[in-house]
Amino acid sequence: MSQAVLDFMHNRRSVLIKNMTAPGPDTSQLADILTIASRVPDHRKLEPWRFLVIQGDARARLGQVLAEVKGKQQALEPEQLLAEQQTFLRAPVVVAVVASPIEHKTPRTEQILSAGAVCQHINIAAAAHGFASQWVTGWTFENPEAEAALGLSEYEFIAGYLYIGSSEEQPSDRKRPDLTDKVTWLSD
């Protein structure tokens, strides 16, 4: 039993992107976070996910790419266009978790659940390294044009963007579920 791990899991919280600052994880910390992220349950070992690590100048470049896609899909005010261009600049590192389900005996939904587990492992590993993180999807979710612009195949989608940075303070907790509404205890 590890009380330290239990305490960590009881207290871990996401940090809103707007509250993130530099620094983000360095290359070796990021490699460790992605190694932990890859240690998720995965039915029949399909590894139905991959990562896009968006950092440095790539943040502005990909922000511009997505802003152009969004601008073709809907009219954007100048400040909305600027916000899209700068979306990845809000944190030092953004990891896009790409769900890559394939035709297989293992159902697609199971493969997608594994990709979701990858996202949460990133949240956990980032926090264990002392970083702030948040899992977001946003408007590009199941948006084929945005996915193509990011280099995804037609079978892939972004399970989540994991923004990773630093934060001064641990956020206060949010309301958590009442287990009496959630748990059916079956003993007999």
Interface with ligand FMN (CB under 6 A), residue total: 8
Shortest Å, Cβ 82 to ligand FMN:
19
**Smallest separation, CB 51 to ligand FMN (Å):** 16
Whose Cβ is closer to ligand FMN: residue 10's or residue 105's? 10
145 class by beta-carbon count within 10 Å (0-12 exposed, 13-18 middle, 19+ buried): middle
Q: Strand 93-99 to strand 132-136: parallel, antiparallel, or no bridges (unpaired)?
A: unpaired
Q: Given the rule CB under 6 A, which of 22-30, 106-114, 132-140, 179-187 is the region that contacts ligand FMN?
A: 132-140
Interaction residues for ligand FMN, span 11-50 (CB under 6 A): 13-14
From 3-11, 39-47, 92-100, 129-137, span contacting ligand FMN (CB under 6 A): 129-137
Q: Is 107 in the site for ligand FMN (CB under 6 A)?
A: no
Shortest distance (Å) from residue 135 CB to ligand FMN: 4
What is the per-residue binding string for ligand FMN in 134-153, x denoting contact by CB under 6 A? xxxxx---------------
46: Cα within 13 Å, side-chain hemisphere:
22
SS3 27: helix
Amino acid at 28: S
**Going by C-beta distance under 8 Å and a sequence separation of 6 or more, which residues neighbour residue 156?**
98, 99, 100, 101, 147
The CA-based dihedral angle spanning residues 18, 173, 166, 122, taken in that order and rounded to the nearest 10 degrees: -100
Chain residues binding ligand FMN by CB under 6 A are: 13-14, 134-138, 160
